[in-house]
Amino acid sequence: MRSAKSVPKNPKVVAADAPGGDEYWQQLHTLGLHGGLDALGVAKAEVLSRARTQIEERIERDLVNTMKFTFLRPERSTNPALLVEGAHSIIVGARSYAYAPLDVEESDEERSPLRAHIARYAWDDHYGHLKASLNVVASQLRRDGHRATVFADDNSIVDREVAYLAGLGWFGRNANILIPGKGSMFVLGCIVTTAQLPVASVVADGCGTCTRCVPACPTGAIVDAGVIDAHRCLSWLLQKPGVFTREYRAALGARIYGCDDCQTVCPPTKKAGVMTAPSSVTTTVGVLDWLSMGDTALNQACEGWYVDHRDMTWVRRNLLIVLGNIGHPNDVGVVETLRRYLSHDNGILRAHATWAAARLGLSSYLFFDDPDQMVQDELADLPALRDDL
C-alpha cells in the first residue's frame, strides 16, 4: 500500500533536449510521473469524431437530462484545434484517488447514523493536485518553445475520449476509463500542445462479459455498455438544481456528494493498487451540523464541490433527503432541524423537509396549508398521510 501523493515542491526535472519524437516524449513522461501523475498518454489533436457522435446521440435519446459540461457545446469540446492554435498533440494525465480500503472501515465518528458520505473523488482536492502535476509538464513544453495549455475539471474537452485514444485505458461498462492494472479511480486532465509527440495504440476492452456494475447502480442508471442515463444517476441528481426526483430519494441513502458504487464493485478497480488516505481528507459530514450552518460557513465547508451557482440551497436540499433516509424520529436534534426547515423561507427546502418529515413519520409537524406549489406537490404525493389526519 502506498501513501497518497502530493506534487513535490521541487519535482525532478529531466532536460528535454529535442523538439519532439519518442525520446522527448519519454522525458516528458518521466517528468509527469515525478510530478505526481499515475499515468500519461498522447493522442492526436484532431476532432474527436466518435465522442461528438455519441454526445449528439445521447442528447437525441434524452439521456443527458439538463447536464451542460461537455454536452453544452460539443462542436468545441470535441475539437482541440479550437483550444490551442497549431495544436498537434494532446497529453492526457491521470491521478489516482483510489484510497484504501475500498470497503472503508469507518471511525466511530464516521459510523454515526447522522453522517452523510462523500464520494472518493471529492475526499481531497484531487483536481487541484492534478492541475499542478500537468502544469509541471506544460511548463517544460513551453520552455522548449511549444505552446501548451492545461485543461482539467473543465468543459473544454472530452477528456475520457482523449484518454481512450491515448491508450491509457478502455471504456468500462460504467462509462469510466479503466487503466490496465490501475482500475478506474482517477481524475483526468489534458495538455493541448503544438509539440508533435508519438501516439500510442488504443487499449482493448477489458470488461468482457462482466456486468457487475450494472446491478450495483442504486437507480439502474447504466442503460447500455458505457451509457449512463443522467436522469437516474445519483452523482448528477445531487448536482442538478431544482426538485430532487422523488423516485430516487430513498436510493440516495446517506450520500451527500457523488456515488462510487459502480466503481467499488468493478473487479479491475478492486484488484488495483491503493493508497493510504492522508489524515486531512474529509470522507463524511455531520448532517445536523451542516444543516445548522449559514451560507458562508457551508460554502467554505463544501469548497471544491460543484454546486450550481454556489447556491447552498442545493446542498441543504440534499442533506434534508439524507436526513429523511437515516434520521430517527425520536432524535430531538432531527425533529428540531426538520421543524426549522418546515418553516424555512425557501420553498425548495420546505418541500424537501416535508418529504423527510413524512418519511420519518413526523406528520404532526407538516403544514398542509403551505401556499407553495412545491410543498403542495409533496403533500399530494402522500395521499395516505392526508387521510390519516
- Between 17 and 66, whose confidence is greater? 66
Q: Residues 363-377: pLDDT tens digits?
A: 999 999 999 999 999
List of residues 6+ apart from 381 with CB closer than 8 A = 246
Distance CA 189, CA 137 (A): 12
pLDDT tens profile 224-244: 999 999 999 999 999 999 999
What is the reported pLDDT for 68?
77
pLDDT for 214 equals 98
pLDDT digits (tens, 9 = 90+) for 2-14: 445 544 444 444 4
| pLDDT 10s digits, 338-363 | 999 999 999 999 999 999 999 999 99
pLDDT of residue 38: 96
What pTM did the predictor assign?
0.89
Per-residue pLDDT tens digits for 32-55:
999 999 999 999 999 999 999 999
For residue 91, what pLDDT is reported? 99
Query: CATH for 2-99+123-193?
Result: 3.40.109
User: pLDDT by residue (tens digit) across 247-256?
Assistant: 999 999 999 9
Read off the pLDDT of residues 100-125 as tens digits, 9 standing for 90 and up.
Answer: 654 444 444 444 679 999 999 999 99
The residue that leads in pLDDT, 319 or 104, is 319
Q: In terms of pLDDT, which residue wins out, 386 or 366?
A: 366
The dihedrals phi and psi of 204, each to the nearest 5 degrees, come to: -70, 155
How far apart, in whole angstroms, are the C-alpha atoms of residue 268 and residue 207?
9
* The pLDDT of residue 180 is above 60: yes
Contact 124, 75 (CB under 8 A): no
Is 50 exceeded by the pLDDT of residue 165?
yes
CA 252 to chain centre: 15
* Confidence at residue 229, expressed as pLDDT on a 0 to 100 scale: 96
Mean of the per-residue pLDDT values of the chain: 90
All 3 cell numbers of residue 160?
A: 475520457
pLDDT for the residue numbered 119: 94
Q: Residue 16: pLDDT above 60?
A: no
> Does the N-terminal peptide bond of residue 74 adopt cis geometry, omega within 30 degrees of 0?
no
CA angle 75, 76, 77 (to 5 degrees): 105
Say what the pLDDT of residue 2 is: 47
In the predicted model, is pLDDT for residue 184 greater than 90?
yes
- Residue 131 phi, psi dihedral angles, 5° rounding: -60, -40
Burial of 305 from C-beta contacts in 10 A (0-12 / 13-18 / 19+): middle
Q: Percentage of the chain surpassing pLDDT 90?
A: 80
Start-to-end CA distance of the chain, whole Å, equals: 57
The pLDDT value recorded for residue 384 is 54
Mean pLDDT, residues 191-209 taken together:
96
pLDDT at site 382: 83
Domain ranges of the chain: 2-99+123-193
